[in-house]
């Protein structure tokens, strides 16, 4: 439903300090006042936080900032910017992960794709990723390694530590991680990470990383999600700038990839264990009809979850399709 005119309308409203009338918007964008009104009504119906005032016009709600590529780029450090091959910000996509795969990279290069709305987003086990348009983070990052990094199967865990660190730098507290790729706040899921590895040992390898973060979910979307979830807004974090958050993730993504190539998961292991939601807890790990019961003792350098049964037998899980819950 979205097109280039929608993007121009949102950009014009985002740059304005006060109300803009339908005539003003139409004149600047080459549209009729009626067409402007119809487009903004449709955008508002799907979540754009738009305020209207009779005989005055339209403006975005106070404190709201639309995603803006320029705002993100100006917050990147020089090293990150120099390694960035592509940077895309969309109003709507099927999937940021699918879109980023269309971008070619060479060794040491990165890219990011973000969108306001996503209708084919996927989480772990091919579950749909539900995210209220215009309010959340739907971001994909990519990096091309010159060689296969050590312990690359643990990369998603290190990425989780990275995301927590960025959120903490913006004042968010009480964050936790759940193996293999979920982010939690105050015991409820707030986001997830999905890693796709492309390459072979001994050659260049590419990592695509999808990050979904709940900044503000609608009541309808919260009831649709079939697990205990939360968002930053309802947890009291109402002033976060999504452009600043994405810039922090892109900057730290570059640093994470540089460090992981040299050192693997080791620099992130202690922090991950301190953050793990189920560390030292009795759990059930299940996949289909298979169930493994025992105490979580941690993860190894490959990212395998270690579960110790009552007879002290250790099972190491690497398959992210396992579902983990408390016993």
CA distances from 263 to 146, 151, 216, 259, 305 (A): 15, 9, 36, 6, 20
Residue predicted with more confidence, 92 or 276: 276
**What's the CATH fold of domain 278-326?**
SH3 type barrels. (2.30.30)
Residue 317 predicted with pLDDT over 80: yes
pTM of the entire structure? Answer: 0.91
pLDDT at 279 over 70: yes
10 Å CB burial of residue 216 (0-12, 13-18, 19+) is: buried
- Quick check: 2 pLDDT over 60? yes
Do residues 304 and 317 touch, judged by C-beta distance below 8 A? yes
* Residues carrying CATH 3.30.930.10, the chain: 69-273
State pLDDT tens for residues 127-148: 566 778 899 999 999 999 999 9
Q: CB–CB of 130/224 below 8 Å?
A: yes
Is residue 14 scored above 80 in pLDDT? yes
Assigned fold of 4-60? Arc Repressor Mutant, subunit A (1.10.10)
Backbone angles phi, psi at 293, to 5 degrees: -120, 135
Q: For 182-211, how does the pLDDT look when each residue is reduced to its tens digit (9 = 90+)? A: 999 999 999 999 999 998 877 899 999 999
Domain with CATH 1.10.10.10 in the chain: 4-60
Query: What value does the mean pLDDT take over residues 21-31?
Result: 91
In this prediction, residue 222 carries a pLDDT of 67
Task: For residue 158, give the nearest of 195, 112, 113, 212 by alpha carbon.
Answer: 195
CATH number at 69-273: 3.30.930.10
Check pLDDT > 60 for residue 124. Answer: no
Nearest to 253 by CA among 105, 89, 111, 97: 111
CATH 2.30.30.100 location in the chain: 278-326
pLDDT digits (tens, 9 = 90+) for 232-267: 999 999 989 999 999 999 999 999 999 999 999 999
123 pLDDT tier (thresholds 50, 70, 90): low
> Quick one: tokens of 143?
């990096």
């Amino acid at each position: 439903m979205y097109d280039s005119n929608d993007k121009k309308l949102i950009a014009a409203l985002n740059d304005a300090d006060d109300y803009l009338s339908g005539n003003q918007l139409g004149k600047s964008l080459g549209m009729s006042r009626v067409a402007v009104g119809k487009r903004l009504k449709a955008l508002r119906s799907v979540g754009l936080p738009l305020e209207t005032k009779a005989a005055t016009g339209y403006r975005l709600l106070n404190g709201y900032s639309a995603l803006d590529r320029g705002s993100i780029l100006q917050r990147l450090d020089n090293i990150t910017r120099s390694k960035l091959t592509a940077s895309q910000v969309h109003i709507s996509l099927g999937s940021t992960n699918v879109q980023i795969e269309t971008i070619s990279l060479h060794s040491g290069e990165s890219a990011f794709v973000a969108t306001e709305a996503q209708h084919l987003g996927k989480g772990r086990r091919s579950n749909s990723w539900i995210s209220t348009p215009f309010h959340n983070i739907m971001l994909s990052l990519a990096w091309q390694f010159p060689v296969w990094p050590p312990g690359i199967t643990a990369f998603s865990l290190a990425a989780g530590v990275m995301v927590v660190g960025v959120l903490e730098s913006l004042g968010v507290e009480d964050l936790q991680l759940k193996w293999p790729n979920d982010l939690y706040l105050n015991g409820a899921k707030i986001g997830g990470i999905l890693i796709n590895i492309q390459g072979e040992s001994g050659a260049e390898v590419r990592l695509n990383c999808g990050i979904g973060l709940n900044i503000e979910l609608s009541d309808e979307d919260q009831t649709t999600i079939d697990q205990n979830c939360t968002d930053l807004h309802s947890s009291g974090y109402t002033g976060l700038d999504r452009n600043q958050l994405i810039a922090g993730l892109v900057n730290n993504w570059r640093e994470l990839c540089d460090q992981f190539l040299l050192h693997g998961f080791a620099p992130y292991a202690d922090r991950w264990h301190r953050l793990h939601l189920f560390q030292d807890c009795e759990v059930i790990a299940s996949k289909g009809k298979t169930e493994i019961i025992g105490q979580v003792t941690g993860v190894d350098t490959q990212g395998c979850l270690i579960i110790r049964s009552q007879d002290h037998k250790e099972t190491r899980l690497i398959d992210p399709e396992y579902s983990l819950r408390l016993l």
